[in-house]
């Protein structure tokens, strides 16, 4: 899956859940049903989230607060209206 497709999937799900958040695993599960397949997408999705956060398109949260990279542990993604 291309980085562009991953970024598009993140934006789509984050916007749909706004003002709430989504987990990177929610994005992965929306793209692949099989557990081994969606788990393989986790690292690329986190990289795509980093790109989107740097571009100001999404906000990355940890424990409900804005987080700065590098992220360790669980994160949540929130759409930032342009």
pLDDT digits (tens, 9 = 90+) for 9-60: 999 999 999 999 999 999 999 999 999 999 999 999 999 999 999 999 999 9
What's the whole-model pTM score? 0.95
pLDDT at 80: 96
What letters, b where the CB count within 10 A reaches 16 and e where it falls short, cover 55-78? Answer: eebbbbbeeeeebeeebeeebbbb
Fold of the domain spanning 3-79? Arc Repressor Mutant, subunit A (1.10.10)
Domain ranges for the chain: 3-79
Helices (H), 1-82: 3-17, 24-31, 35-40, 42-54
């Amino acid at each position: 899956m291309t980085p562009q497709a991953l970024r598009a999937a993140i934006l789509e799900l984050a916007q749909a859940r706004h003002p709430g958040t989504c987990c990177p695993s929610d994005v992965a599960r929306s793209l692949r049903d099989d557990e081994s397949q969606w788990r393989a997408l986790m690292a690329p999705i986190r990289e795509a989230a980093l790109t989107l956060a740097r571009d100001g398109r999404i906000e990355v949260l940890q424990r409900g607060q804005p987080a700065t990279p590098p992220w360790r542990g669980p994160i949540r993604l929130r759409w930032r209206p342009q």
